[in-house]
Structure 1
Amino acid sequence: MNRLILLGLAAITLTGCSLTGHLAKEGALSLTERNGREHFTLAGELPANFMLQATTKYAPLTPEHCKVYDYGLGREVMRDGYEQEETGYRDRPHEFKLKIPLNKSIGLCRMEAYQVSLLIRGRYGEKDWQTHRALGGIGIAATRPQGAPEFSAEGVYTMRGYCTWLFQINKLYLELGKALSCSETDETWQLDPDFGKRRSIGDTFGRDELPGKTVYLDIREYPEEQPFYSNSWIRFPSGWKLCQPKEGGWIGCQEPPVFKTFLMDGQECTVYPNCREQPE
Structure 2
Amino acid sequence: MLSAYRAYHLQRLSMIQRAWFLPLFAGLGVISWIAIATCEPPANDSGYRSSTHFMLIGEMPANTALRGTAQYDPMPGQHGCPYHHPQLHLDTRPSDLPQTFSFEVPLAWHLPDCTLQLSEVDFVTEGFYGAGYAQRSSTTSGAIAVRDALQKGVPGFPESGEKEYRGICSWQTYTQPDGQNLQSLLTCHAANRQWTLISDQRRPRRPGGAVSRNELAGKTIRMTFRMAEAS
Q: Same fold (TM over 0.5)?
A: yes
Counterpart residue number, 2:148: 142
Counterpart residue number, 1:158: 164
**In the alignment, does 2:206 pair up with 1:200?**
yes
Cα deviation digits, residues 2-48 of structure 1 (max 9, x gap): xxxxxxxxxxxxxxxxxxxxx89998xx7232111111111011111
Q: In structure 2, how many angstroms separate the alpha carbons of the residues matched to 1:192 and 1:179?
A: 20
Counterpart residue number, 1:81: 86
2:184 to 170, 178, 183: 178
The offset of 1:166, in angstroms, is 0.9
Counterpart residue number, 1:236: none
Aligned-residue CA RMSD (Å)? 2.8
More helix by share: 1
Residue 133 of structure 1 aligns to which amino acid in structure 2?
Answer: S
Counterpart residue number, 1:261: none
Residue 57 of structure 2 aligns to which amino acid in structure 1?
Answer: A
1:98 to 95, 103, 107: 103
Q: In structure 1, how many angstroms separate the alpha carbons of the residues matched to 2:199 and 2:205?
A: 12
The offset of 1:148, in angstroms, is 2.2
Counterpart residue number, 1:107: 112
Q: In structure 2, how many angstroms separate the alpha carbons of the residues matched to 1:49 and 1:26?
A: 31
The offset of 1:91, in angstroms, is 1.3
Q: How many residues align?
A: 192
The offset of 1:65, in angstroms, is 2.5
Cα deviation digits, residues 80-114 of structure 1 (max 9, x gap): 12111201111111111111111001212110011
Q: Is the 8 A contact 2:74 2:81 kept in 1?
A: no
Gaps of 5+ in 1: 1-22, 69-77, 226-280
Residue 39 of structure 1 aligns to which amino acid in structure 2?
Answer: H
More strand by share: 2
1:214-253 aligned at under 5 Å gives the runs 214-224=220-230
1:257-272 aligned at under 5 Å gives the runs none
Q: In structure 1, how many angstroms separate the alpha carbons of the residues matched to 2:70 and 2:202?
A: 28
Larger Rg: 1
Q: 1:195 to 1:64 in 2, by over 3 A?
A: closer
Taking structure 1 as the reference length, the TM-score comes to 0.62
